[in-house]
Structure 1
């Protein structure tokens, strides 16, 4: 009876959301800026002081150029040689294919979800970083399946702040990792529906609820013992 009363007294107003199809299947790209992209930009902007020296990014150097300062070299890592902009052809899960101790800052956004052996990939990032190098990473917590990635190389994981923190600590050690989350129930509902960031207020986007983790950010610095 109590549950019935709760349903009657707190009846949701579905409006146009009571449908089996999302408003957008392409994360809101067709409506504006996807919500997770706003969070990634905010994270990188807040940590832009680390984006310097030799900076590496996956497939492109968009974030390196947008947020970097005093960048001496832009490196682009790609798995195959069909990317003409790539400066490093290598596989994060295969250390033999990677240059060692060459990167000052590794920007790794929304990548580990699509790598089955993601723990090996974290080791690959560690392998490439110089002493006092920094990794700025983001991973997906809550999202629709990325059909484009699923049909090509796979969409394997959704993380929590606890799971990804432990995975990085296994490689980098404890003490230097900083993990934060972005998301709340409203932003999550909007993101799953493909509603664009421009359709929410700043307050609605940036209110944080740890039980609704759209993305998780990781900042970690590497130190070698001499």
Structure 2
């Protein structure tokens, strides 16, 4: 993984710790944030949109994959991530660009947004500041068509799958660092 060097110290993920265990090195503590206490693996029960429910300044790396699409007040959730990060902490996030509705999520808590690289970058810059946010897109018309038709990624060549067309953004990645000036 391209950003695995950032997955160290105290690492937090939503609902599970799959990526931090797979790609992390020098991880001192694995934290799992979950909205309710029905997740037995959760070490933090909290709501990214409710700062009072979150620990402040405790996370070195926050891995936030495919979550913001399902939070109505996603801007406040970004502030929640910022609130949890330590000085020099980093968030590694992904959001959906082009996708069908996730019926599982829609029926449980909602499926609200599809983002573009511009919209998510501006939203993160509002909290983390300009110059601290890196955004990258993945997708193209063939990969989008295959995805929407349920064609497996293995049925495409790497060249077909990884060709990037900024007009067909399936997945958008975000990386930002938090720096406090003392």
**TM-score normalised per structure 1:** 0.80
Is 1:137 matched with 2:65?
Answer: no
**Which consecutive residues of structure 1, in runs of 5 or more, have no partner in the other structure?**
1-44
Structure 1 residue 48, shift from structure 2 partner:
0.3
CA-CA distance at 1:197 after TM superposition: 0.9
In the comparison of the two structures, how many residue pairs are matched?
A: 182
* Shift of residue 194, structure 1, vs aligned partner: 1.3
Equivalence map 1:46-125=2 (5 Å): 46-125=2-81
State the Cα distance separating 1:176 from its structure 2 match: 1.3
**Alignment RMSD, CA only?**
0.5
Deviation readout 1:130-174 (Å, 9 max, x if unpaired):
000000000000001000000110000000000000000000111
Secondary structure of the structure 2 residue equivalent to 1:178: strand
Give the secondary structure class of the aligned counterpart of 2:30.
strand
CA apart distance, 1:129: 0.2
2:85, 2:153 → 1: CA distance?
33
Stretches of 4+ aligned residues off by more than 3 angstroms: none
SS at match of 2:99: coil
Report the TM-score when normalising by structure 2. 0.99
| Structure 2: 5+ residue stretches without partners | none
